[in-house]
Chains A and B, each alone.
Chain A
């Protein structure tokens, strides 16, 4: 029996497809997420909008919180480590979390290097803003990718920008003649082997979810129609006025993303969405998506 193989790591990401992964900070939240039909939860000390409001250094969550959430739900539990903080990742692996998110939502621990994720048995998901960034993370061993968006804003515009950038990068590579691939690998800052693979297949070798700004069922369906394999919802559920109803609606919208009648039905009467943030109103140095490279 072989454990921790690439197949087993990327396979779990494939099982999450078409699903919604929800940020939770308490076992009660986790329960609500599971009952709404979330396919996994992300165990945190604070949701991104609170991290943004609190300022200071954001770190891996208290293992006691993560453990309490793991004991409460039967669906996969993810947790975040800081970019480049491989010891936080070791701690999370020892706790037995099912997936580690090396996340720009936390304060980076290394400004030059991400975690070498091949060293771990537990799979990693990493954020990206374009194809080059996605391929660099995959080269380091990420078994799943998510577009970054701008976490904690309830504003979908950055998620759309990043998803379009990734899809556009894929289309360009697919259409490119072979003799241009080496130069394109250089331009993307991505390993040639991955560039060549995408030229042949037209798709990322791992699952790609959308994250950062999903606040409504229509936001989730928008990202699915733009090509996301599934959805991360951070502050969007538990900063809204009726988290259980909104969580259920986002799950149904993600499954039926191509069916406007169902989207209309599930979007009705959900109460207030989280208050949003205009991206232009955020100081440049406070933008989370620019963390990582």
Chain B
């Protein structure tokens, strides 16, 4: 499993994956990409990451891998990079996930918040989610499954095929269920690639 390590909270994702016994490594250069089963694009500053992706000539490769079906998970800024419509981002992004997200849509840092989310795909208990200058999902395409909404509000966790997006930061809390969910997607794909994939039952988590 790879974690894009250009800027932001990549060390936290690597630590979470390691706690789950997954092999994980930081990705900074083209040479780091071959052989990965999946890629996490962490939280951080989306403008910074977008510019570094371009400067380090990673764009086309990462975009190609996403189109070829590599599982990818964007948290916060990472979701902004995955979104087809990233409102408020002037830089080019990967644009592979059929969602519209608006940057910094909840306000400035003093409006950053924590909330408990009901996530049917994870089961009980609720997931304590940390939102930091987070983007807001304003629209989702037909093929996009909503995994969780802000209490009484808009979607905050979405899935489209092998792509996962959260506007909050599961890497900042000790609850590893979203990381488990993502690892399962990676395993499923690896199994499918070998031609013996079985769809897994949804709506439970195996801890």
Interface set of A (CB-CB < 8 Å, partner B): 1-5, 7-8, 11-12, 14-19, 34-40, 74-76, 93, 96-99, 121-123, 248, 251-252, 255-256, 259
8 other A-B residue contacts (CB within 8 Å) besides A37-B55, A75-B45: A4-B110, A7-B130, A12-B133, A15-B169, A40-B45, A96-B108, A97-B108, A98-B133
Q: Does B10 reach chain A (CB closer than 8 Å)?
A: yes
Q: Does B47 reach chain A (CB closer than 8 Å)?
A: yes
8 Å CB contacts to A: which residues of B15-31? 28-29
Interface 1/0s, chain B 84-110, versus A by CB < 8 A? 000010000000000000011001111
Q: Which of B56, B77, B130 contacts A8 (CB 8 A)?
A: B130
Q: How far is the CA of A65 from the CA of B172 in the complex (A)?
A: 33
Q: Which of A2, A18, A123 contacts B114 (CB 8 A)?
A: A2
- A-B residue pairs, 7 tightest by C-beta: A98-B109, A37-B51, A39-B45, A18-B7, A1-B113, A8-B112, A96-B108
Q: How far is the CB of A95 from chain B (nearest CB, A)?
A: 9
Interface set of B (CB-CB < 8 Å, partner A): 5-12, 28-29, 43-45, 47-48, 51-52, 55-56, 76-77, 88, 103-104, 107-115, 130-133, 151, 169, 172-173
Q: How far is the CA of A12 from the CA of B115 in the complex (A)?
A: 16
Q: How far is the CB of A263 from chain B (nearest CB, A)?
A: 13
Q: How far is the CB of A255 from chain B (nearest CB, A)?
A: 5
A-B contact pairs, 9 of them (CB 8 A): A7-B172, A8-B131, A8-B132, A12-B109, A17-B9, A18-B7, A36-B51, A37-B48, A76-B133
With A12-B109, A19-B44 as contacts: A7 and B114 at CB distance below 8 Å: yes
Please state if B8 and A3 are interface contacts (CB–CB under 8 Å). no
Please state if B110 and A3 are interface contacts (CB–CB under 8 Å). yes
Q: How far is the CB of B106 from chain A (nearest CB, A)?
A: 10
Q: How far is the CA of A93 from the CA of B107 in the complex (A)?
A: 13
